[in-house]
């Protein structure tokens, strides 16, 4: 379940510390790994696809001299977070920066999908995030420093919509969780941020089967994964900590607009649901 890429003792002295990234095998997760490696972090790479993680580990080691500890794990398994933490302890790894990035969407309405699929989704998107934060924060408190980024979404700020029923709800949860953890951690030197991107080029829409639909959106609505990752890291590592970080001016404007006129956000959501969502009758 694990594999390590070594570097010299001299390089160890210059390491910023260890960062753990879930969902590291693609999209925003991979972008986070590259950005963290460029900043001098060693990495714990967590995802289901071990082959991709090993390829990424080799890339980061070759380009940045990064030590990478690969943990192939499915966060839908309730035992996965505890197993990850136990393996970190066995390896003597103390995590300085936690990036809870793993996530996906479940197409369809709530009653159209079996409960096991929903339960797995909530395990990945909510429960595993809470458990990893709960397990790794005590070490950060003891060391007097640390960073946590919970990858949420602009959807967590907007009104709920038909279909993908639990997605926006789970992202709203992560935003509120991050706000609370930020308050709880700040006196211990811990910065916590909810990163809330909008539409981002990744595999997300291929997995949900909506690539053709969302590809009709104008280019200015799309974000690049590397830009999102850099924005998220700046939120917790930069001079000014941002507890809620929304990359992209267009999305910051939309969140502001929804706060000022929520009725307008509800109308826009209702009109766009069938344009960008996939349902069983489609």
* Residues acting as catalytic residues: 167
89-106 CB burial, b ≥16 within 10 A, e <16:
eeeebebbbbbbbbbebb
Tell me the C-alpha distance between 184 and 27, whole Å. Answer: 30
Tell me the C-alpha distance between 222 and 166, whole Å. Answer: 23
Tell me the C-alpha distance between 103 and 101, whole Å. Answer: 6
Q: What are phi and psi of 199, to 5 degrees?
A: -60, 125
Residues 146, 190 contacting (CB under 8 angstroms): yes
């Amino acid at each position: 379940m694990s594999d390590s890429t070594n570097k010299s003792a001299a390089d160890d002295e210059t390491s910023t510390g260890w960062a753990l990234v879930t969902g590291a095998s693609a999209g925003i997760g991979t972008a986070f790994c590259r950005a963290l490696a460029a900043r001098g972090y060693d990495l714990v790479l967590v995802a289901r696809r071990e082959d991709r993680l090993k390829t990424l580990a080799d890339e980061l080691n070759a380009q940045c001299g990064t030590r990478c500890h690969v943990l192939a794990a499915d966060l839908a398994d309730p035992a996965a977070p505890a197993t990850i933490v136990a393996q970190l302890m066995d390896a003597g790894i103390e995590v300085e920066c936690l990036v809870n990035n793993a996530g996906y969407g479940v197409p369809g309405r709530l009653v159209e999908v079996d409960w096991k699929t929903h339960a797995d989704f909530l395990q990945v998107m909510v429960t595993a995030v809470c458990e990893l934060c709960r397990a790794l924060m005590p070490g950060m408190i003891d060391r007097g420093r640390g960073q946590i980024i919970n990858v949420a979404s602009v959807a967590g700020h907007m009104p709920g919509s038909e279909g993908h029923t639990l997605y926006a709800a789970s992202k709203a949860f992560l935003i509120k969780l991050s706000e609370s953890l930020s308050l709880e951690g700040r006196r211990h030197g811990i910065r916590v941020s909810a990163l809330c991107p909008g539409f981002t080029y990744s595999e997300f829409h291929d997995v949900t089967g909506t690539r053709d639909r969302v590809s009709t959106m104008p280019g200015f609505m799309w974000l690049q994964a590397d830009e999102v990752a850099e924005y998220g890291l700046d939120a917790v590592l930069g001079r000014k900590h941002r507890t809620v970080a929304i990359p992209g001016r267009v999305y910051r404007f939309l969140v502001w607009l929804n706060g000022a006129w929520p009725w307008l956000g509800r109308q826009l959501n209702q009109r766009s649901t069938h344009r960008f969502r996939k349902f069983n009758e489609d």
